[in-house]
Chains A and B, each alone.
Chain A
Amino acid sequence: MMQRFSCPFCGPRDETEFFYGGEAGNERPEPAENISADRWAQYLHMEKNENGRAREIWVHLTCGEFFVMERDTVTHEIYKTEAFHGEQK
């Protein structure tokens, strides 16, 4: 069966309406000109790739809103979804 995710703005919708955006809390290091190549590569490419509970950014393609979803990457259980207000470091 198709899974349903809950957009904080539109409510429960089919998983195919959503797109994974990345790990929450991965903030762009600033100012860019002072950032080392290693740190920049870390920001762009390195992943926690959590096995279990994960906090992620998703976009609901239908309404275009980004939001935060907490879910289990093994069982696919969803703990919560909430509007994205920008993350604290």
Chain B
Amino acid sequence: MNQAQAETFLSRELRMLDQRKFRDWRQLLTDDAIYWVPNGDADGDPQQHCSIVYATPPMVEDRLQRAESPFYWVGDPPIRSVHTVSNVLLERADGDSADIACNQVIYLYRENDQRRDQVLDTLPAQCEYRLRRQGDDWQIAYKKVALLNSDGLVPLLPPII
């Protein structure tokens, strides 16, 4: 993987989230993937300390099943997102795997709310990825989204951020 491929991969991945194609995003995960959004200390041990999200692929399935339900009140009306990605650093790469660090800014907005003055939330994050090659494609073996305010007030979130 080279720099341009890394940036293209991230842009595609985040576009899936912004288009709410969460099932497509699910397909990017390796079977042993970990998707992690820490709460508090981003360097802490997620086995000892609660996270905002700590999920294996079956747990991601549960999240998507919930988000597709008519009883998903957080997403009623739905939360729209825009992700921007920058400062993409290809920290390590060989033919079969790559470690990427990047910054993301995640904008969240609840559409069509009766209240009509719903705020636009801005969530800057430092992110880490470990990608693995599967044939001609790359998959996510590890994704960590360390929100800048992970120890502060975090708004209601879409199923995957």
A, B co-complexed:
no
Residues of B within 8 A of A (CB): none
Residues of A within 8 A of B (CB): none
